[in-house]
Amino acid sequence: MAAPIDVHSAAAEAAAEIAHARKDILRIATAGSVDDGKSTLIGRLLFDSKAVFEDQYAAIERASKGDYVDLALLTDGLRAEREQGITIDVAYRYFTTPRRTFILADTPGHVQYTRNMVTGASTADLAIVLVDARKGMVEQSRRHAFLASLLRVPHLVVAVNKMDLVDWSEEVYEGIRDEFSAFAAKLDVPDLTVVPIAALQGDNVVTRSANMPWYQGASLLHHLEHVHVASDRNLVDTRFPVQYVIRPQSDAFHDYRGYAGRVAAGVLRPGDEVQVLPSGLTTTVAAIDGPDGPVDAAFPPMSVTVRLADDLDVSRGDLICRPHNAPHVTQDLDALVCWMADTPLVPRMRLAVKHTTRTVRAMVKELQYRLDVNTLHREPDAPSLGLNDIGRVRLRTTQPLFVDDYHRNRVTGRFILIDEATNATVGAGMLTPAG
Amino acid sequence: MTTADHRLTQLQTLEAESIHVLREVAAESERPVLLFSGGKDSIVMLELARKAFAPARIPFPVMHVDTGLNFPEVLEFRDKRVAELGVDLVVASVPDAIAAGTVREEPNGSRNRIQTPVLLDAVEQHGFTALFGGARRDEDKARAKERVFSFRDEFGQWDPKNQRPELWDLYNGRTHLGESIRVFPLSNWTELDIWGYIAQEEIAIPQLYLARERDVVDRQGMLYAVNEFITPRDGEQVLRESVRYRTVGDANLTAAVRSTATNVEEVIAEIAVTRLTERGATRGDDKVSDAAMEDRKKEGYF
């Protein structure tokens, strides 16, 4: 800070508004093949939305080797990444506009780091897949679009980049758009938007570009600011996995017994009749404590503490729901699994399953098929799933889990697989209807 | 806090996420500890821990790696806060380690590097299995790469090329004996979020964060307050300036910034328009090399 900033009370008010605004947080994952310009695009978004500070800019200016300041250096922060000029692991970036706050996961394009792309996309509301206009759709574009749809990222944006290198050609853009739309139709993409851009100069990134007058749509940032995400949550099927039991055992709170956790779906209110799984016992919600005291409703993604009217035996791993709207209680899991370990997944393998707040042991009963992510062809005879493979698997767990299909509820429909020998996270699973 | 359309504010969303992380570790980890330095991020983290387990007490101790170079005001604040909350405080002392000969003072006077072995010794001695840190991903490009649950081997080392995949909010905190997990509940908070939360919750902070007239010396454009660790060198002029601290680290390394912000709202107003990162503006130690933070983290630093 070179000179003191004159702080008027109006500025303080404006700042307080920035900090307190009831703004959405939009979580974005970017994907795309190597050299499609992801890091440059992100650098451009950060730079043009003034999220790049002078000292950061000075640092990348020093590190840039070419004729221009390499904005990609803003994101590739690891030594090995700079050496190789590639993104190895997810980097998270933050920027804000008057309308929204953005958490951006910059994920790697290399096939060998697909698991890191899945890491970045798993929490995303929106995925941006970059395509190089000169090359069109390649294997990685298909893979990433498919992974985004598999993870049910609600919104998909295809950014056709490097339009400057194809003379701003409308025909090239339309060809890629049509090819991508045809591919997306085979997936389950509820919302697809295609934007032609040139990230290096910033065309159609923050503002509309005069170089592509034939494009009538919004700039990328305008789309990110306005895409509607509030309806992407399930507010119908109440699900409250118990995470931690709070028992103060103090004189002031002698009888306090609260069930802490994060609302996975639905809305929970004091007075609601509820059922506790696995016991199946019913009671009513006596009170709900939020971080600042009692609240009249709890909904995703709130972390609250629920107090029940009756003294039931409830512990971590149990689930509170409404009677007549319970999840499936099952020891048989049918799921699409993204495998993330060098050691392949094979039938009869034993693993730990972490699902909501419950961790159980499981055995791979069957590998039903492996999926070719390019053709979406099912290979029923595949003997195993290798690193970065995706396939449909049936697991048998030692204890019941309380599950929903992933398309109905992303929280109760997902799990991770852990290798109990190495403790590594080796797989991500999304539950599908049996059959 | 609820509204008809069931939406949360940005800060409520971040708060819910952090509380979830704190509870998950308390439920699954055998012996967690929260790193508390008395700086603004760890103050917010401790407040979130209080809320996560209220009305019960925080179910784990807090630890401070004391370099012996702290601002006295920050240490006072630390002790006061710990007493108010009734949590146990573990102090891992760098001066004690120097006296015992387990680490050696570095020629440049910075105890940043030698903090790491002292931290790791304390972790081993107390058998801590999970360590909460107040680091945020917006602080540094190496931190931007960090998971919420960061696996560390028995030497506390971070391997950025081989991080555990972290799917959704299903965190894997499993470790073998000697290994540990660094947990960052504030990963997704920015500097402005931290200040917004301090304002909203009216959280007490050390007065160093607010501007007042202080005696400073100008070293390569950075303003260091004159104190028991910083004395004017030959030819250096002592200036009387209105300054505050954006970060609070060791008193011999942390620079102040020119400011007229005497309350939290005014601090927020300044930060909203500043063109320098907090570390760029105040930390001499991160300028050693372009990958200084990455290198320190690989050695076991937070």
pLDDT, tens digit (0-9, with 9 covering 90-100), for B218-277: 988 888 989 888 888 888 899 999 999 988 888 888 889 999 999 999 999 888 877 777
Choosing among 3.40.50.720, 3.40.50.300, 2.40.30.10, 3.40.50.880, the CATH entry for A328-431 is: 2.40.30.10
Average pLDDT over residues B57-69: 94
Quick one: pLDDT at residue A71? 73
Q: Which residues of A, range 317-376, sit inside 8 Å of B by Cβ?
A: 340, 354-355, 357
CB A64 within 8 A of CB A73: yes
CA atoms within 13 A on the CB side of B242: 11
Quick one: pLDDT at residue B201? 94
Q: Does domain B10-195+291-299 have CATH number 3.40.50.620?
A: yes
Quick one: pLDDT at residue B281? 64
pLDDT, tens digit (0-9, with 9 covering 90-100), for A106-153: 887 666 667 888 888 999 999 999 999 999 988 888 888 988 999 999
Rounded CA-CA distance B263/A408 in Å is 47
Query: pTM for the complete prediction?
Result: 0.91
Quick one: pLDDT at residue A108? 73
- Classify domain A239-321 at the CATH topology level: Elongation Factor Tu (Ef-tu); domain 3 (2.40.30)
Average pLDDT, chain A: 87
Quick one: pLDDT at residue A107? 81
Domain with CATH 2.40.30.10 in chain A: 239-321, 328-431
pLDDT, tens digit (0-9, with 9 covering 90-100), for B26-52: 999 999 999 999 999 999 999 999 999
Least CB–CB distance from B268: residue in A2, A15, A235: A15
Tokens standing for residue A433: 């209807």
Taking every pair of Cα atoms in chain B, the longest distance, rounded to a whole number of angstroms, is 65
Quick one: pLDDT at residue A69? 73
Quick one: pLDDT at residue A88? 63
Instruction: Please report residues of A whose CB lies closer than 8 A to that of B20.
Output: 243, 262, 303
Rounded CA-CA distance B88/B244 in Å is 30
Asked whether the beta carbons of residue B160 and residue A423 sit closer than 8 angstroms, the reply is: no
Rounded CA-CA distance A51/A100 in Å is 13
Q: Is A10 on the interface with B (CB under 8 A)?
A: no
Quick one: pLDDT at residue A18? 55
Q: Does domain A21-232 have CATH number 3.40.1190.20?
A: no
Quick one: pLDDT at residue B282? 65
Quick one: pLDDT at residue A20? 58
ipTM of the complex: 0.90
Q: Which residues of B, range 19-78, sit inside 8 Å of A by Cβ?
A: 19-20, 23-24, 26-27, 51-57
Average pLDDT over residues A365-392: 92
Average pLDDT over residues B285-298: 61
pLDDT, tens digit (0-9, with 9 covering 90-100), for A52-68: 777 777 777 777 777 67
Rounded CA-CA distance B284/B275 in Å is 18
pLDDT, tens digit (0-9, with 9 covering 90-100), for A399-415: 999 999 999 999 999 99
Helices within chain B (DSSP H only) = 10-28, 40-53, 72-85, 94-100, 112-126, 191-201, 264-273, 278-282, 292-298
Name the residue with higher pLDDT: B289 or B245: B245
Q: Which residues of A, range 82-121, sit inside 8 Å of B by Cβ?
A: 88-94, 101, 103, 115-116, 118-119
Instruction: Please report residues of B whose CB lies closer than 8 A to that of A253.
Output: 55-56
Asked whether the beta carbons of residue B164 and residue A424 sit closer than 8 angstroms, the reply is: yes
Indicate which of B7, B10, B191 best probes the interface with A, i.e. most A CBs within 10 Å of its own CB. B10
C-alpha distance from A213 to closest chain B C-alpha (Å) = 34
Average pLDDT, chain B: 88
C-alpha distance from B291 to closest chain A C-alpha (Å) = 7
Q: Is A270 on the interface with B (CB under 8 A)?
A: no
CB B34 within 8 A of CB B63: yes
Instruction: Please report residues of A whose CB lies closer than 8 A to that of B259.
Output: 1, 4-5
Q: Which residues of A, range 152-171, sit inside 8 Å of B by Cβ?
A: none
For the purposes of burial, counting CB atoms within 10 Å of the CB of A43, is it exposed (0-12), middle (13-18) or buried (19 or more)? buried
Tokens standing for residue B22: 């704190």
Name the residue with higher pLDDT: A10 or B141: B141
Query: CB pairs below 8 Å between A and B: how many?
Result: 245
Instruction: Please report residues of A whose CB lies closer than 8 A to that of B240.
Output: none
Average pLDDT over residues A236-260: 93
Quick one: pLDDT at residue A34? 64
CB B112 within 8 A of CB B250: yes
- Domain residue spans in chain B? 10-195+291-299, 207-272
